[in-house]
Amino acid sequence: MEDTLCWAEVDLGALVANLAHLRRRIGHESLILVAKADGYGHGACTVATAAQGCGVDRVAVATFHEAWELRRSGVHSRILVLGPFLEEEAEFGLPHGVEFTLVSKEHARILERAARRSSIPARCHLKVDTGLNRLGMRPDEALELLSELEGSRFVHWRGCMTHIAASEGGNAPSALRQVALFDDFVARARRRNYLVGVELHVANSSGVLSGLSPRYDACRVGIAAFGVSPHPSLETAELRPVLSVRTRVVQLKEIAMGGRVGYDGTWTAMRKTRLAVLPWGYADGMLWRDTHSGSVLIRGQRAPLVGRISMDLATVDVTDIAGVELGERVTLLGADGTDRIRAEEIARTLGTIPHAILCSLGKRVRRITIPAEVEGVPQARLERQALSG
């Protein structure tokens, strides 16, 4: 029954429009849609299938399980697994035709052994660490690996990448230093006839929005494809949010001035107050805080969240919104009337990043897909779909 109480709408028309806008920005580069973490909470299979239908030929995920779920759902595009792997995962991934990211010499040796045993050559992308100091090899280590694997029948190079550390992308001097290190590595490798004809990809969403593309052969776009800015300096009205999250009022009550709300009474009413209780808590994706200064939209108006967020419930002050009724639709993320609550706004309120807001959406929140060809479907029809399941 919780499907009737909270749901998320995934607007594929907005996704397609965002991909078209990003394509214009990247020029000749091809676009790799990053759909890890269940497509940033939007539903990986849904967004990958939609992107595939509008010409995106590659999808990137973090794990082999995510790749397998895409293959099982019918996604036939190239799939790049960005994360590291253990030996048993390598053997699992080879028959599914995924592309591997090699982040160390040890991983390369694991993969070559698995490829030899299965007689299936591995398609690989070399990850060079130019300053993020997370996954990847230092340039000299990467050159040594290329030398060790020269002529291997079981490791086929498909790409070479690095990862920009600055969330503002090319607007940060450190990003330009990373690009220079990567370019120097590629030049050194190609002087030795390594990586000739191999695709290079550097820019992520921040890189694309800050002008690091077009520069190479491809870019990896995640959160920007979903209409959300990765950094405040890169916000643009040209990207349309894909995800909206709704719930309903399940109880209305009045409390007197001085009444306290929620666990430990962290909010006190300064007047006679009308409260609406929402069936939405941190188990559904409402990030927990001692005090919450955010708001929701009811009848196109802002209603402030009051009291501590619980596992399954939140409370809002609707004193100033006339006529709120039991069952009233509430917008936690998205538009209602002329106002909109964006993931970037919620992230600023909570002191986090919008990626965390999108990825926190819980499993019991039903996703409703709005097909691109019927964009503008009446809200009443969406609510009937949520109610009917």
Give residue 378's pLDDT. 47
Domain presence at residue 25 = yes
Q: Give the per-residue pLDDT at 255.
A: 97
- pTM above the 0.85 mark? yes
194 is catalytic: no
Which tokens go with 188?
A: 């050194």
Place of tokens 């399940």: 250
Ranges of H-type helices in the chain: 12-26, 36-40, 44-53, 64-72, 87-93, 105-118, 139-148, 173-191, 205-209, 343-350, 354-359, 379-388
Q: How far apart are CA 244 and CA 342, in angstroms?
A: 9
133: left (phi over 0), alpha (psi -120 to 50) or beta: left
| Nearest Cα residue to 78 out of 218, 236, 210 | 218
pLDDT on residue 93? 85
The rounded distance, in Å, linking the Cα atoms of 259 and 269 is 5
Residue 251 structure tokens: 């109880």
Could you tell me which of 79, 92, 175 has the C-alpha nearest to residue 125?
79
Residues of the chain with pLDDT under 50: 1-2, 374-384, 386-389
User: Are 29 and 155 in a shared domain?
Assistant: yes
Asked, for residue 237, whether it belongs to a domain, the answer is no
The reply to whether 221 and 267 lie within a common domain is no
pLDDT of residue 292: 66
Alpha helices by DSSP H, 212-263: none
- What is the domain range of residue 343? 243-388
Rg (CA), the chain: 24
Rounded Cα distance between 65 and 85, Å, is 11
- Residue 289: φ, ψ to 5°: -145, 155
- Among 228, 253, 283, identify where a domain stops: 228
Q: How far apart are CA 124 and CA 136, in angstroms?
A: 13
User: For residue 321, is it within any domain?
Assistant: yes
Whether 5 is covered by a domain: the verdict is no
Tokens (6 digits) for 99? 């592309």
Strands 339-341 and 329-336: antiparallel
CATH classification of the domain holding 146: 3.20.20.10
Number of domains in the chain: 2
Q: Is 40 a catalytic residue?
A: no
Q: Tell me how far apart the alpha carbons of residues 112 and 338 are, in angstroms, rounded to a whole number.
A: 56
CA distances from 358 to 3, 46, 287 (A): 19, 15, 11
Tell me, yes or no, whether 335 and 211 share the same domain: no
60 with 185, same domain: the answer is yes
> Could you say which DSSP state residue 262 is in?
S
Burial 325-342 (b: 16+ CB within 10 A, else e): eeebbbbbbbebeeeebb
Predicted confidence at residue 289, as pLDDT, reads 62
**Catalytic-role residue among 36, 127, 194, 216:** 36
Same domain, 273 and 194: no
- CATH at residue 308: 2.40.37.10
pLDDT at position 389 is: 42
Do 269 and 372 lie in a common domain? yes
Catalytic entry in 40, 127, 263, 363: 263
Whether 109 and 208 share a structural domain: yes
To which H or E segment does residue 335 belong? strand 329-336
